[in-house]
Amino acid sequence: MALAQRGNRPIALRPPRSAYLHIPFCHRRCFYCDFPVVPLGDRASAEPGAPGSRSMEVYLEQIKGEIRRAPGGPPLSTVYIGGGTPSLLSVEQIAGLLAELASHYGLSEGAEVSLELDPASFDQDRLFGYLQAGVNRVSLGGQSFDDAVLERLGRRHRRADLLEAAQWLQSAERCGSLRSWSLDLIQSLPGAQLEQWTAQLEQAIALSPPHLSIYDLILEPGTVFERREARGELALPEDDLSADLMELTARSLAAAGYGHYEISNYAKPGHASRHNRVYWSGAGWWGFGMGATAAPWGQRQARPRTREGYAHWLQQDHDLPPAPMPFDERVMVGLRRREGVALVALASACGVSSRELAELEQRWQGFVERGLLLQEGTRWRLSDPEGLALSNAVLRELLEWCSQRAEDCQSSP
Ligand code: SF4
C-alpha cells in the first residue's frame, strides 16, 4: 500500500498488478498513426546484423534497466506488450522481457500475457515461440480486409497476410496453446459506406476471433492523414454516419455472440481483455518504455516520446508522490465501459461535493432525455448502442464541467 493525501485526508492506494511495455519499432509509420514509434524500414528485423537490430538491442537494455530500477510490487496478473510492432522482436527478446518482469515482480498463476502482432511481421514458428515464452493472448493489427484500404492507410501488410496470420492464431487456439486473441479493425474510414462496412464485419465474424477491437479513425496532428485532410483530399464520414457505422457494428456483433463491454471492444463470453479493463477501472498499472504511460497509483505519468528523450529521462530521478486518478478521468474511463460508473460513490471517494455532482447531473439531463445516458440507481452508463456510439458528446460535456470546476476552484479564496 502507498499513502496519498486527498484534502486533509490520507488515503491508501493499492500497488498495481498490471504492466504495459512499449516496443516502439515499426517497419514504417502508417499514414494515420501518431503513436510514439521508431520506423526502421521495410527490411528491419531482430536478426543480428539486420537493419534496425542494433537499435532494438540497445532499447531492450534500456527498458530492462527501467524495470529493474522501478519500485517493487506484488506479482503481476496482467502484462501487455504493445507498440509499435512488438512482433519485430525475436522470441528470445520477448522471453527476455517477460523474464525481467517475472524476476522483478513475479507473475501470478494464470496471468494474462498479451502481445500485439502485425500481419506480415511474423511467421507461424515465431508465433509458437512467443507462446512457449509465456504469451497467452494476442492482439492482431488487421485494420482492414481490403487491399486498397490497407494501401491508403500506409499499412505494409495485405489481406492475404491478415488471413494467413488469423489461421495460425485459430490453429494455436484450437490446440490450446493460445488462450485468446483479438482482431483490430478501423471503422469510419474515409469514403466509408454501410454496405462496405457490412462486408468487413462479415469477414471478421467468419474468422471467429474471440475478441474484436473496432476503432474510429481519428485525425491526429502531424500525421499524413491530417495533411491530406487539410488539403481537402480526405473525406472522413460525418458524425451521423460514424454513429450509424458503430450501431451497425454493435448490432452485427451482438447477433454473432459478442458482448459490447467497452466503447471499442467486443468479446465472446470469457474473452474480455483483463488488462484493458484495468485501464478503465481506475486501478493503476506500471508502464515501461519510450512514450509509455504509467499510472502506478492512478494518476498518469507519460514518458518522453522520442529515443533521445527517453534515454535522457532514464538518467533522471522520478520519485513522484503517489496520487490517485482524478475524478474526471475516473468518470471518463468508467463511462467507456458497458457497466458505467457508480457516480455518487466515486464522487464521495474523490472529494467531489454533492453540489458539484448535482451540477454535472444537471448538465447530463439532455442526454438522459435523448436516451443516450441511463441512470440506474446511483450508476450512470451510456446506452448500447446509441449512447456508446455518441459518447463523444457526453464526454465533451463532462470535460466542460471539469474545466468550469477547475476555474471555480482557482477563483475561490
Ligand atoms: S504499425 Fe501500428 S504503431 Fe506502427 S506505425 Fe502503423 S499504426 Fe502505428
Compute, in degrees rounded to 10, the torsion defined by CA atoms 156, 161, 167, 169: -20
DSSP string, 308-326: HHHHHHHTS---PPP-PPP
The pLDDT value recorded for residue 297 is: 83
- pLDDT higher than 90, residue 214: yes
The pLDDT value recorded for residue 348 is: 87
The pLDDT value recorded for residue 320 is: 74
Q: Does the beta carbon of 156 sit less than 6 angstroms from any atom of ligand 1? A: no
- pLDDT higher than 80, residue 26: yes
CA of 294 to the centre of ligand 1 (A): 20
**396 φ, ψ (degrees, to nearest 5):** -60, -40
**Domain total for the chain?**
2
CA of 62 to the centre of ligand 1 (A): 21
Looking at the fold, whether 272 and 337 belong to one and the same domain comes out as no
Q: Does 295 map to a domain?
A: no
What CATH number is given to the structural domain containing 96? Answer: 3.80.30.20
Q: Which of the listed residues 23, 25, 28, 29 should we mutate to test ligand 1's pocket, taking the one with most ligand atoms within 8 A of CB? A: 29
Q: Worst-scoring range by mean pLDDT, 131-145, 147-161, 353-367?
A: 353-367
Say which residues have a Cβ less than 8 Å from residue 269's Cβ, sequence separation at least 6.
257, 259
Q: Does the beta carbon of 140 sit less than 6 angstroms from any atom of ligand 1? A: no
Nearest CA to ligand 1 atom 8: 33
Q: Does 305 map to a domain?
A: no
Nearest CA to ligand 1 atom 6: 30
Q: Does 315 map to a domain?
A: no
Q: Does 314 map to a domain?
A: no
Q: Does the beta carbon of 85 sit less than 6 angstroms from any atom of ligand 1? A: yes
Average pLDDT, the chain: 92
- pLDDT higher than 70, residue 408: no
Looking at the fold, whether 250 and 338 belong to one and the same domain comes out as no
Alpha carbons 153 and 167: distance in angstroms, whole number? 23
Nearest CA to ligand 1 atom 5: 29
Q: Which atom of ligand 1 is nearest to the CA of 26?
A: 4
Extract the C-alpha cell encoding 280. Answer: 478503465
Tell me: the pLDDT tens digits for 59-101?
A: 999 999 999 999 999 999 999 999 999 999 999 999 999 999 9
Mean pLDDT, residues 175-200 taken together:
95
Q: Does 123 map to a domain?
A: yes
Mean pLDDT, residues 348-373 taken together:
88
Looking at the fold, whether 272 and 183 belong to one and the same domain comes out as yes
CA of 29 to the centre of ligand 1 (A): 6
Q: Which atom of ligand 1 is nearest to the CA of 28?
A: 5
The pLDDT value recorded for residue 413 is: 42
Looking at the fold, whether 197 and 122 belong to one and the same domain comes out as yes
CA of 346 to the centre of ligand 1 (A): 36
Q: For residue 409, what are the domain limits?
A: 326-413
Nearest CA to ligand 1 atom 3: 84
Q: Does the beta carbon of 83 sit less than 6 angstroms from any atom of ligand 1? A: yes
The pLDDT value recorded for residue 9 is: 66
Q: Does 296 map to a domain?
A: no
Question: If pLDDT is split at 50, 70 and 90, which confidence band does 7 have?
Answer: low
The pLDDT value recorded for residue 229 is: 92
User: Residue 229, class by beta-carbon neighbours within 10 Å (0-12 exposed, 13-18 middle, 19+ buried)?
Assistant: middle
Q: Does 36 map to a domain?
A: yes
Q: Does the beta carbon of 33 sit less than 6 angstroms from any atom of ligand 1? A: yes
Q: Does 239 map to a domain?
A: yes
If you compute the radius of gyration of the chain from its CA atoms, what whole number of angstroms results? Answer: 22
- pLDDT higher than 60, residue 185: yes
- pLDDT higher than 90, residue 39: yes
CA angle centred on 32, ends 25 and 196, rounded to 5°: 120
Looking at the fold, whether 56 and 161 belong to one and the same domain comes out as yes
Alpha carbons 22 and 81: distance in angstroms, whole number? 6
Alpha carbons 378 and 361: distance in angstroms, whole number? 11
Compute, in degrees rounded to 10, the torsion defined by CA atoms 365, 367, 369, 370: 170
Q: Which helix (H) or strand (E) holds 200?
A: helix 194-207
Question: If pLDDT is split at 50, 70 and 90, which confidence band does 396 have?
Answer: confident
Q: Worst-scoring range by mean pLDDT, 117-121, 184-188, 255-259, 395-399?
A: 395-399
Mean pLDDT, residues 98-112 taken together:
98
Mean pLDDT, residues 248-259 taken together:
96
| Beta partners for residue 301, in sequence order | 294
Alpha carbons 62 and 306: distance in angstroms, whole number? 13
The pLDDT value recorded for residue 404 is: 77
